[in-house]
Chain A
């Protein structure tokens, strides 16, 4: 079974631009969660999608948004990029949700904002 894949793996953008990151979950998994990882803050939960609906949301500004397609693939969008958005963005898939279900993480997308 293929693991969670994320594209692109690396991205460089400038302040004010927007970016879209993509995540393909493990086949059969319906839940996709997104996390931001930075050295100072660790792993911070962004949001979770289940069957195309946002089921949980973390404490991030509205510039961060996401969506999930009928094939469970998910995209995350960040608009009006700021320097502080530089981070590793991880997505994780699970069969039914993050609670009590093992999450499988992708390798992440390293975003650098200049």
Chain B
């Protein structure tokens, strides 16, 4: 019940296309859903985060869509660029101070 399931494991998108990564959770107590971006040799960095009282949040080319009833949330990267090639992690906050991460999606944008 504490798991966050992320798909796909890897994704290849043409430059200019839309990259979509999906996550699903079971624990309805989750109330904080961040996305992290990780480049090789670096630690993850917070990209964008959403709370369940909002169905969508947009920051530049990055959008989180949240479906509370389906217990799913997704990251959309519009106009994907080669510089977006990285590993993306969804996560969910539960309890007092604990975050559960998905297993990651390796995204590759073709130039």
Q: What is the interface of chain A, defined by CB distance below 8 A to chain B?
A: 4, 31, 33, 35, 40-45, 48, 50, 55-56, 58, 90, 92, 97-100, 102-108
Contacts and interface: CB of A to CB of B under 8 A. Distances in A.
A67 to B, nearest CB: 17
A98 B97 contact: yes
B98 A43 contact: no
Contact of B41 (A4, A100, A104, A107): A107
A90 B38 CA distance: 12
Interface residues of B, number: 25
A87 B96 CA distance: 27
A42 B102 CA distance: 7
Given A42-B89, A100-B32, A105 B98 contact: no
A89 to B, nearest CB: 10
B43 A106 contact: yes
Given A99-B93, A100-B93, A45 B99 contact: yes
Interface of B: 6, 32, 34, 36, 41-46, 49, 89, 91, 93-104
Contact of B101 (A42, A56, A107, A108): A42
A90 B97 contact: no
B58 to A, nearest CB: 18
B99 A99 contact: yes
12 contacts: A33-B99, A42-B89, A43-B91, A55-B97, A98-B99, A99-B94, A99-B95, A102-B49, A105-B36, A107-B41, A107-B43, A108-B43
A56 B96 contact: yes
A55 B96 CA distance: 9
A41 B103 contact: yes
Contacts of A107: 41-43
Given A42-B89, A102-B46, A48 B97 contact: yes
B100 to A, nearest CB: 7
A45 B43 contact: no
